[in-house]
Amino acid sequence: MSKKIYEKVDKLPKGGLTVMALNSLDKFVPGQWENLVGFDHTIKQVTGETDEAMVQAIAERAIALFNDKSQGYQRALWMYESVDSASGLLGAAAMANRIGQDTFLGFLKNISPKPEKAQTVDLVVKLVTEVVAFCHINGIPGDSLGDFLSALGDYGGESLMRMAALVSFDGVIPLGADFSGKALNLIKGMGPSDLDNNPTFKGVKEEIPGGNAKGKLSFMTESFESTKGWMDKFVSDKGITQSNVVDNLSGFVEGSKSKLDYLGAFLDVSVKYYEHTGVQTLARRLIERSVAEL
């Protein structure tokens, strides 16, 4: 059965771990993210329109656009959902690996990827998902590469919050402050088999450009390398450190300070920030297009 975009937006959680985790990042991107829930409410907030008939017309055109598979919106939604649920599996694997290191059940190491390597793939796949989903939703706006980059660089609202969460929860917490350099070194040392064993990669690999695992790995490495500067600047501009991200989270994840690898795995399993903010981005862009086309 086809997914209903209005239902997805209506049923976004107003509270819970995902929303609390995202709110904990407000300190770094103050006022950027409001948890918009409800399709009609989102239309009114995005467009400023209050006329009910107009709101309904905007909604109906947005639904029609979403349901037209050739427009790419359904693929973007699928990617946002898949990368979250697949990385949840990674969290479970990381937990198992931690058990393997702490106990005599060392053999568990053989069936679970090393956390840092797995976290790196997770981080890079999520970043590539962002780029690919961006293209599905927005096309490639403008006439030049510079135009495209300025569109990407113009992130705000829930999209910027998603990037803040990516950098904090999938970068700084599991890999440390120099996460981008560490991740780049690790990914450069990887081969196709490292990807094939990774649940996050497997979750969305059909959508990653490249003919085979080797080609996909090279696309991922290049994408990460070209956005590394942006991520480093973001972290230093916003003052994001491992300890202040954890401090902000410790309000609702007790005892997390001394167990950072557990915290990373815990966030993987319980926080669906890609799907949550991805649905919000998708809704916003559909609504912006709809109201302009009517």
Partner 1 sequence: MQLARSLKRLVPLVLILVITLTACSSASSKYDQVQDDTTGSTAPAAVDKTAKKGGTFNQFFPEAAGDYAVVPSQEKQGFAEYKLKRDGETVAMLSINDTISLPAAAAKYENATTMVAGFPSVVQGSTATGLLVNDRYQVKVLSRDASFTEADRAAWLEKFDLQGLAQLEADTKAFRKAQKTAAPAIRITPPNSEPETVPTLVPQPAG
> Of 13 and 139, which has the nearer Cβ to partner 1?
139
Distance of CA 90 to the CA centre of its chain: 15
Q: Which residues, other chains included, contact 31 with Cβ-Cβ below 8 Å and sequence gap of 6+? A: none
> Of 85 and 138, which has the nearer Cβ to partner 1?
138
- Is residue 22 within 8 A of residue 162, CB to CB? The reply is no
- Is residue 277 within 8 A of residue 165, CB to CB? The reply is yes
What whole-number distance in Å separates Cα of residue 138 and Cα of residue 129? 14
Supply the minimum distance, in Å, between the C-beta of residue 237 and partner 1.
Answer: 14
- Is residue 59 within 8 A of residue 43, CB to CB? The reply is yes
What whole-number distance in Å separates Cα of residue 26 and Cα of residue 34? 10
> Of 155 and 266, which has the nearer Cβ to partner 1?
155
Q: Which two tokens stand for residue 117?
A: 């390597």
> Of 55 and 165, which has the nearer Cβ to partner 1?
55
> Of 58 and 246, which has the nearer Cβ to partner 1?
58
Supply the minimum distance, in Å, between the C-beta of residue 141 and partner 1.
Answer: 3
Supply the minimum distance, in Å, between the C-beta of residue 269 and partner 1.
Answer: 26
Torsion on CA atoms 93, 102, 179, 182, rounded to nearest 10: -100
DSSP for residue 210 = S
> Of 15 and 48, which has the nearer Cβ to partner 1?
48
Supply the minimum distance, in Å, between the C-beta of residue 64 and partner 1.
Answer: 4
Supply the minimum distance, in Å, between the C-beta of residue 281 and partner 1.
Answer: 12
* Helix, strand, coil in percent for the chain, rounding step 5: 75, 0, 25
> Of 134 and 266, which has the nearer Cβ to partner 1?
134
Closest CA to 83 of 215, 278, 280: 278
> Of 101 and 221, which has the nearer Cβ to partner 1?
221
Supply the minimum distance, in Å, between the C-beta of residue 18 and partner 1.
Answer: 23
Supply the minimum distance, in Å, between the C-beta of residue 266 and partner 1.
Answer: 31
What whole-number distance in Å separates Cα of residue 284 and Cα of residue 147? 21
CA atoms in the 13 A half-sphere facing the CB of 286: 31
The residues binding partner 1 (CB under 8 A) are 2, 4, 6-7, 10, 39, 47-51, 54, 56-57, 59-61, 63-65, 67-72, 75, 131-132, 135-143, 147-148, 150-151, 154, 156, 207, 209, 285, 288-289, 291-294
- Is residue 14 within 8 A of residue 154, CB to CB? The reply is no
Supply the minimum distance, in Å, between the C-beta of residue 52 and partner 1.
Answer: 11
